[in-house]
Amino acid sequence: MIHGDDFAGLAAACAAAACFDGAIAFQALEARDIPRDRALSLSLLARLIRRPRWALATGMAILGWPFQLLALSLAPLSLVQPTLALGLILLLFLGSRMLHERVGRREALATAAIVGGVVGMTFSAPKNTDAYNGDWRLITVIGILAAVAAIPYLVGGRASRPAGLQLASAGAAISASALLSKLVTDELAGHHVVAALGWGAATAAAALVGLLGEMSALQRRTVSRVAPPIFVISTVVPVLFAPFLTGERWGHTPLGGVVIVVSLAAVALGGAMLGQSKAVGTLMTASHKEEAQRAEAR
């Protein structure tokens, strides 16, 4: 059922989505120009931060976090996180309008799945809560995500498929940052500023690990092979953990949570399909091709 602040939270989540997905296009271009031996190293980020376009794009992504916090303070995490998928539709629109890439049946179905899923979430989302389970459940959830995020750093060069581990690490870290962001808003709602700052620092650390894993994966794979799995992980995992950690009561929603699960699956499937779309992928590589052509012309 719809609650008073859900639509305001939905609007804030849309603004966050525009910032997050607008940033990855330019971040991807710069990451592929850095030698692969810098993967999973802070020196990778140190090199990227010196590049104005990457720094500007990252600033855009950081700007999206306050919008995400606002959204989480107004609406439940199970509504906010899937709504971030709408940013992919923005990339599809830009790729179609700016580069005249054809939008086919696949893209249309993917867009319909995302929009339908978000609408389903909006009309079935549970009531937002300002309290979280700070007992063993918190330790379990964060511990699992931290362990997955740490795997490529522990395995190092022994991994046979490093890009796959980097994707899993990035997805787990970004999932953790979403859950930790919710804890920040809960503490702020209770006027616990010190605790909110502590969770904010943890969120920043998780986001940094996620960014490093994502940029490392982009050095080895194309955007169309990096964006979909990270998107699916970071969309599905936080929502599935939400009842366990944040106290969302899916049992009080239509069909006892079935509508939420179906809507979440639709968003995840649509997002994975759009991430592999030529219109989206071309948008993220066109600028790089143009620069290469200008360099050859000189």
Round the average pLDDT of the chain to a whole number and report it.
84
Residue 9, pLDDT > 70, answer: yes
The answer to whether position 106 is within a domain reads: yes
Query: Domain count of the chain?
Result: 1
**What is residue 281's predicted lDDT score, i.e. its pLDDT?**
62
**What is residue 292's predicted lDDT score, i.e. its pLDDT?**
44
**What is residue 271's predicted lDDT score, i.e. its pLDDT?**
86
Residues of the chain with pLDDT > 70, as a percent, come to 80
Reduce the secondary structure of 240-272 to three states and give it as a string: HHHHHHCCCCHHHCHHHHHHHHHHHHHHHHHHH
pLDDT band at 221; cut points 50, 70, 90: confident
The answer to whether position 93 is within a domain reads: yes
Terminal Cα distance for the chain, rounded:
61
Query: What one-letter code names the amino acid at 49?
Result: I
The answer to whether position 165 is within a domain reads: yes
More confident residue, 291 or 258: 258
Residue 295, pLDDT > 80, answer: no
Residue 40, pLDDT > 90, answer: no
The answer to whether position 253 is within a domain reads: yes
CA 250 from chain centre, in angstroms, equals 23
158-188 burial, b for 16+ CB within 10 Å, e for fewer? eeeebbebbbbbbbbbbbbbbbbbbbbbbbb
Q: Write the pLDDT tens digit of every residue in 100-140.
A: 666 788 888 988 999 999 999 999 989 898 889 989 999 99
pLDDT band at 297; cut points 50, 70, 90: very low
Q: Write the pLDDT tens digit of every residue in 51-107.
A: 888 888 888 889 999 999 999 999 999 999 999 988 878 777 766 665 566 678 888
**Predicted structure pTM score:** 0.84
**What is residue 82's predicted lDDT score, i.e. its pLDDT?**
93
Provide the domain limits for residue 217. Answer: 6-297
Give the integer Cα–Cα distance in Å for 256 and 253.
Answer: 5
The answer to whether position 10 is within a domain reads: yes
pLDDT band at 148; cut points 50, 70, 90: very high
The answer to whether position 1 is within a domain reads: no
